[in-house]
């Protein structure tokens, strides 16, 4: 019988709890969530900076956000998003979905809300390695330390801004802001804005800013130019070479004047509560040493849910949780630490050979199906149907080349390998 601590009640933590609650080998389950409600990223608030308890505001959600993937592939394998007439949903619908999921599986009542995890530290005991977790009850300020056999780290990875090194950024005369703090476009009314980064947030927000700003410059290094037709007040530029006063110098030698530098440069993995004796190191956004991006190799009774990106997030969380729970309950045994380390080194060599940088250590994209199959095979569980990755690929292409209208597309899953898409009144079946 084991005692398990889940840190965080976003989609990943809820999914972990959903499986752990019905797992016979689990005798005690604590789900610790610092916020007063579940849902993590999907909770919208106007507030930025710090909350009432002095903790950094967690969510990066902005008001106008619609999902960048169709809801048909955003549910859990055993709990799809309910049918409705649209595929791309506002954040509040995704939050409602997560509440439904948690309620249906008896998770909500088990969550200790307003409990902030401060420290996780391993300790050696005669019966093996255990964990001490120290957390603060934010309601009354009481700090407590409790012992667990297993730790699920589900604290989310889109909260700590990544600020790239750009010469002159510190001295820049105008405002500098990161997309983590973006809520509504009004503050950019009539401004000249330099948006740096063309990921999902950068593209969406740049387009939104064109409705209020005088001028939007979208600076990026995408290998392929998006075919999206942007409004006339949006101009694409290569990477920034340096900033000087209110001037931007681009790599192609051109220059421009701007009022605001708006960083859509992504986020950093951050585990402030892990004591260094947990042996988890984050360098250049690579979290090590993790076996299959899930298991802490140095302390295999600690796992991480949700580290890979460019994935079908909730489905992958579910597969990672099923994988790890099966290692807990004896369906299979994890390899030895040496074998796990060798597996990871081999994966890193393979990724490097294919041109992935260290910063992209957890990027899946084209590697998704292989990754899902490798988890499923080892744990003797079901992998994700290929239709979810197929729809993901299709949606991403349409995002890129038809940013203005792709969210009107409607998808329907027909079977594990086949889907239907209705776009611009035309219906197509793809397998």
Ligand X SMILES: *[C@@H]1O[C@H](CO)[C@@H](O)[C@H](O)[C@H]1NC(C)=O
What DSSP character marks residue 35? S
Site for ligand X in 235-264 (CB under 6 A): none
Strands 215-219 and 192-196: parallel
- CA gap 297, 158 in Å, rounded: 24
Position 105 contacts ligand X (CB under 6 A):
no
Q: Which is nearer to ligand FAD, 201 or 219 (CB)?
A: 201
Residue of 283, 281, 289, 274 lying closest to 340 (CA atoms): 289
Q: Which does 140 bind (CB under 5 to 8 A by kind): ligand X, ligand FAD, none?
A: ligand X
Q: Is 140 in the site for ligand X (CB under 6 A)?
A: yes
Q: Is 4 in the site for ligand X (CB under 6 A)?
A: no
Q: What is residue 309's DSSP assignment?
A: B
* Element spanning 17, H or E: helix 11-20
Residue 369 sits in the site that holds ligand X (CB under 6 A): no
- Would you call the peptide bond into 289 cis, given omega within 30 degrees of 0 as the criterion? yes
Q: Does 333 bind ligand X (CB under 6 A)?
A: no
- Cβ nearer to ligand X, comparing 7 with 198: 7
Q: Identify what 4 binds: ligand X, ligand FAD, none; CB under 5 to 8 Å per kind.
A: none
32 binds, among ligand FAD, ligand X, none (CB under 5 to 8 A by kind): ligand FAD
Provide, for the chain, the percentages of residues in helix, strand and coil under a 3-state DSSP scheme, each rounded to the nearest 5. 30, 30, 45
Task: Report how far residue 405's alpha carbon sits from residue 40's, in angstroms, rounded to the nearest whole number.
Answer: 28
Give contact residues for ligand FAD (rule: CB under 6 A): 7-13, 32-35, 40-42, 58, 60-61, 65, 67-69, 74, 116-117, 154-156, 158, 201, 273, 306, 313
Sorted by sequence, the CB contacts under 8 Å of residue 165 that are 6+ apart come out as: none
Q: What number of CA atoms fall less than 13 Å from residue 66's CA on the CB side?
A: 17
Find the shortest distance in angstroms from Cβ 58 to ligand FAD.
Answer: 4
- Kindly tell me the burial class for residue 74, based on how many C-beta atoms sit within 10 Å of its own C-beta (0-12, 13-18, 19 or more): buried
- When the beta carbons of 323 and 399 are compared against ligand X, the nearer one is 323
The reply on whether position 23 binds ligand X by CB under 6 A is yes
Please report how close the Cβ of residue 147 comes to ligand X at its closest, in angstroms: 16
Instruction: Check residue 139 for interaction with ligand X (CB under 6 A).
Output: yes
Closest approach, Cβ 146 to ligand X, in A, equals 10
Asked if 112 is part of the footprint of ligand X (rule: CB under 6 A), the reply reads yes
Helix axes 91-104, 11-20, angle to 10 degrees: 10
- Compare residues 19 and 249 and give the one whose CB is closer to ligand X: 19
Nearer Cβ to ligand FAD (34/210): 34
Binding site for ligand X (CB under 6 A): 19, 23-24, 112, 137, 139-140, 322, 325-326, 329, 331
């Amino acid at each position: 019988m084991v005692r398990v601590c889940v840190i965080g009640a976003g989609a990943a933590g809820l999914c972990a709890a959903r499986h752990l609650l019905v797992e016979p080998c689990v005798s005690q389950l604590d789900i610790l969530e610092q916020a007063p409600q579940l849902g993590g990223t999907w909770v919208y608030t106007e507030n930025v900076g710090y909350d009432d308890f002095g903790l950094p505001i967690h969510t990066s959600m902005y008001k106008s956000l619609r999902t960048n993937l169709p809801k048909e592939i955003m549910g859990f394998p055993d709990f799809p998003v309910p049918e409705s007439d649209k595929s791309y949903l506002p954040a509040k619908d995704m939050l409602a979905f997560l509440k439904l999921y948690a309620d249906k599986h008896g998770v909500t009542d088990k969550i200790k809300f307003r409990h902030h995890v401060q420290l996780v530290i391993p300790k050696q005991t005669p019966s093996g390695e255990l964990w001490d977790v120290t957390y603060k009850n934010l309601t009354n300020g009481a700090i407590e330390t409790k012992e667990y056999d297993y730790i699920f780290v589900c604290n989310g990875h889109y909260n700590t801004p990544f600020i790239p090194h750009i010469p002159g950024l510190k001295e820049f005369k105008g405002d500098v802001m990161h997309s983590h703090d973006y809520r509504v476009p009004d503050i950019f009314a009539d401004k000249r804005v330099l948006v740096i980064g063309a990921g999902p947030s950068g593209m969406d927000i740049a387009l939104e800013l064109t409705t209020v700003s005088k001028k939007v410059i979208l600076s990026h290094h995408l290998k392929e130019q998006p075919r999206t037709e942007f409004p006339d007040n949006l101009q694409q530029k290569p990477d920034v070479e340096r900033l000087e006063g209110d001037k931007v110098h681009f790599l192609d030698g051109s220059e421009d004047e701007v009022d605001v530098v708006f960083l859509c440069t992504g986020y950093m993995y951050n585990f402030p509560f892990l004591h260094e004796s947990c042996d988890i190191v984050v360098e250049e956004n690579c979290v090590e040493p993790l076996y299959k991006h899930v298991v802490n190799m140095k302390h295999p009774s600690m796992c991480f849910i949700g580290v890979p990106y460019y994935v079908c997030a909730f489905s992958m969380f579910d597969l990672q949780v099923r994988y790890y729970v099966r290692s807990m309950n004896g369906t299979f045994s994890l390899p030895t630490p040496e074998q796990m380390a060798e597996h990871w080194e081999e994966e890193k060599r393979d990724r490097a050979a294919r041109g992935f940088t260290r910063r992209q250590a957890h990027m899946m994209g084209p590697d998704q199906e292989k990754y899902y199959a490798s988890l499923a095979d080892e744990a003797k569980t079901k992998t994700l149907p290929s239709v979810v990755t197929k729809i993901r690929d299709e949606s991403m292409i349409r995002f890129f080349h038809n940013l203005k209208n792709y969210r009107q597309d409607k998808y329907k899953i027909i079977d594990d390998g086949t889907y239907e898409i209705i776009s611009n009144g035309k219906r197509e079946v793809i397998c």
